[in-house]
Structure 1
Amino acid sequence: MSDQHLDHEAPSLRGKAVFVTGGASGLGAALCQLLARSGADLIVADINRDMATVSANILREHGVRVHALGFDVGDPASAEHAIGTALERFGRLDVLVNNAGTDVTLPMADMTPQQWMRVMNTNLNGPFLLAKHASQHMRAAGGGHIINVASTAAKRAWPNASAYHASKWGLLGLSHAMHAELRPHNIKVTAVIAGGMRTPFLLDRFPDLDQATLQDPMNVAQAIRSVLLLPRESVVAEITVLPMQESSWP
């Protein structure tokens, strides 16, 4: 079935305001593109403001409202200000996608405390801060949806990735805690265990990877959109999306 056919058949997200971190590249960019085609208004947030601005200009061609934000998700003041800006721009916030991620691929002995904290701030503290402020609005509005993009690194472990594993295992736990806490307020929370994707995040660090064993990030974006389009009475608390030849999964 073609993606074009999927777009034609899928219910619309028109009128929904969606905030995507790490939205200028990789999975974030694919998701923004797909959601814009589905009618969603978008906050494209990225630590690289110039890339976010370029992405936003392209997304507006789909006839939706788009605003670019450049900020560090792990900075408490910046995270609070970013959610406030989204509400000022669109008057609502229906979906938060915590997608921004980083890694330092080093043995523990070689990793500095600063490098450790940078990974933890981006991958774990950022999602907490953004969800804290977004959920306050969602509670008052009567509902919403928070998507936390984790990884197979939240289920297994391999050498030279201690900070990444700690942050992603933590994010998975945080996501399920959010689900338990926010569900009574009609706020859905979904953790996405994403397997290897053909994105700069992976290929820039591991250029020798066999790309045939990886998946197109648009495939994961489609899975996320399907979760967002579920009926109001149902929630997917955790979803795993793997390439058929995923090497980091049993």
Structure 2
Amino acid sequence: METRKVAVITGASQGIGAGLVDGYRKLGYAVVANSRSIAPSEDFDLVTVAGDISDPEVAERVIATAVERFGRVDTLVNNAGIFIAKPFADYTQEDYDNALRVNLGGFFHISQKAMANMVERGSGHVVNITTTLVENANSNVPSALASLTKGGLASVVKSLAIEYAARGVRVNAVSPGIIKTPLHAEETHDAYGALHPVGRMGTIDDVVHGVLYLEQARFVTGEFLHVDGGQSAGN
């Protein structure tokens, strides 16, 4: 069990997170998957840990489960997040608190625990899922609160990549465009697709392939991979 590579994935019960679980399992990794309401798993090499990842005790339990069950943590994908699209003046205190708690707290606590384990073994990989709106704002999608919080995940990538490079730990990010997930009703797909130069929304597989590329690109760290249908290139 010590030689089996292990990925920890947050926000893993549906959408991109569930796709990432499948992608890493197909790559041969054991997976520890977390979300607030994730169901138990019958797959020996897939362990689920339910709980709010912004809670430091939950974050500690997720990493402890990976180490106790599989002996290590090789990859952490910080996928958990919330996206609230509103005009800036309409955000409530609750919106603000929830976005900071999940998008930043949900990254901070578990990343500290995971990276400590990676440093002990001299290797590891952290991937943050952000949004291309951080770099390419769009008046059709008012998203200042997402930019404030997911922007934090983006800005920390280079800092951590440099801090941990000599210790064998890589840190990267994937910046998706608007992805077809249960969050977006089908009647919105055409309108959202038109916001991308390629003329369509992204798929969960598009994001998964991007993350798995970075997983296998051993010489890549501090990188932002845009999986956004050309949004980052221009309009």
| TM-score past 0.5 threshold | yes
1:120 maps to which of 87, 100, 121: 100
Kindly provide the amino acid, as one letter, of the partner of residue 38 in structure 1.
L
Q: Where does residue 11 of structure 1 map in the other structure?
A: none
In structure 1, the gaps of 5 or more residues are: 1-13
Provide TM-score, normalisation by structure 2.
0.86
The secondary structure found in structure 2 opposite 1:200 is: coil
Q: Where does residue 215 of structure 1 map in the other structure?
A: 202
Q: Where does residue 145 of structure 2 map in the other structure?
A: 163
Cα distance in 2 for residues equivalent to 1:113 and 1:185: 40
Are 2:11 and 1:22 aligned? yes
Alpha carbons of structure 1 residues 27 and 68: separation in structure 2 relative to 1, 3 Å: same
Q: CA contact under 8 A between 1:152 and 1:249: conserved in structure 2?
A: no
Shift of 1:43: 0.7
Shift of 1:234: 4.3
Q: Deviations over 1:229-248 (max 9, x none)?
A: 124x443622111236x599
Q: CA contact under 8 A between 2:158 and 2:222: conserved in structure 1?
A: no
Q: Deviations over 1:5-49 (max 9, x none)?
A: xxxxxxxxx821000111121111111112111111001111222
Are 2:152 and 1:179 aligned? no
**Runs of at least 4 residues off by over 6 Å:** none
Kindly provide the amino acid, as one letter, of the partner of residue 228 in structure 1.
E
The secondary structure found in structure 1 opposite 2:19 is: helix
The secondary structure found in structure 1 opposite 2:188 is: coil
More helix by share: 1
Instruction: Among all aligned residue pairs of Structure 1 and Structure 2, give the percentage whose two residues are the same amino acid.
Output: 26
Cα distance in 1 for residues equivalent to 2:188 and 2:87: 20
Q: CA contact under 8 A between 1:156 and 1:248: conserved in structure 2?
A: no
Are 2:227 and 1:237 aligned? no
Alignment of 1:83-102 (within 5 A): 83-102=63-82
Kindly provide the amino acid, as one letter, of the partner of residue 66 in structure 1.
L
Cα distance in 2 for residues equivalent to 1:170 and 1:132: 15
Q: Where does residue 149 of structure 1 map in the other structure?
A: 129
Q: Where does residue 129 of structure 1 map in the other structure?
A: 109
Q: Deviations over 1:51-90 (max 9, x none)?
A: xx3xx44xx3xxx601011111212222122212221121
Shift of 1:96: 0.2
Shift of 1:153: 1.8
1:69 maps to which of 42, 49, 60: 49
Q: CA RMSD in A?
A: 2.2
Alpha carbons of structure 1 residues 101 and 208: separation in structure 2 relative to 1, 3 Å: same
